[in-house]
Amino acid sequence: MVTMTALEEELSRIAGSVPDPELPVLTLEELGVMRGVQVLGPGRVEVSLTPTYTGCPAIEAMASDIERALHEHGVPDVTVVTVLAPAWSTDDISEEGRRKLTEFGIAPPRPQGPAGGPVPLTLAIRCPHCGSTDTELLSRFSSTACKALRRCTACREPFDHFKEL
């Protein structure tokens, strides 16, 4: 781990507090996509960001939102670079992020450990509306690649589930 200077920590906090463009209840820090902030010189900062999915179109909006936030904080020269490794995992979403997802009506991803990929349906997914664990899968892909569409068999409401990756 590279140790950050006080300035880098401050800039990291500002960049990390930018909301996710598709799930605005979450900050980029809570989503776990921030990979580092480096001051390259006076007024020159590089931010490393990792995409949730390789093809996630939100990454470009995230990059320009970070640039704007840091410009407003007086950093004239901001570069946002994308890093792929180590790959992002839904385990990188913070506890606070999970709580906010549920509040927003999206069932948070289940913790999964090192293997990755589709999780066998052993752990129940809880309906974010009524709390029932009696839910069924409607489609493995929903409004975005990172979500699956489910329905609660108790309250009959459909809901998104942030699927494990």
Partner 1 sequence: MTGTTDTLTAAAALALGDDALVLSHRLGEWAGSAPVLEEEVALANIALDLLGQARVLLSLVGDEDELAYLREERSFRNSQLVEQPNGDFAHTIARQLYFSTYQHLLYGRLATGDGPFAGLAAKAVKEVAYHQDHAEHWTLRLGDGTTESHQRMQRACDALWRYTGELFQPVEGLDLDLPALETAWLDSVTDVLGRATLTVPSGPRTGAWSAGAGRQGLHTESFGRMLAEMQHLHRSHPGATW
Q: How far is CA 162 from CA 30, 55, 90, 151, 165, in A?
A: 14, 16, 8, 13, 9
| 140 touching partner 1, by CB under 8 A | yes
- Stretch of residues binding partner 1 (CB under 8 A), selected from 3-11, 41-49, 50-58, 100-108: 50-58
Q: Which stretch binds partner 1 (CB under 8 A): 3-11, 35-43, 98-106, 137-145?
A: 137-145
Binding of partner 1 by 165 (CB under 8 A): yes
Instruction: Find all residues with CB under 8 Å of 83, minimum gap 6, and list them.
Output: 35, 48, 49, 50
Residue 137's nearest CA partner among 126, 148, 124, 128 is 148
- Which of positions 103-132 make contact with partner 1 (CB under 8 A)? 116-118
Q: Show the binding pattern over residues 1-40: x = contacts partner 1 (CB under 8 A), - = does not.
A: ----------------------------------------
How far does Cα 77 stand from its chain's mean position?
25
Residues near partner 1 (CB under 8 A): 51, 53-57, 84-89, 116-118, 138-145, 149, 163, 165
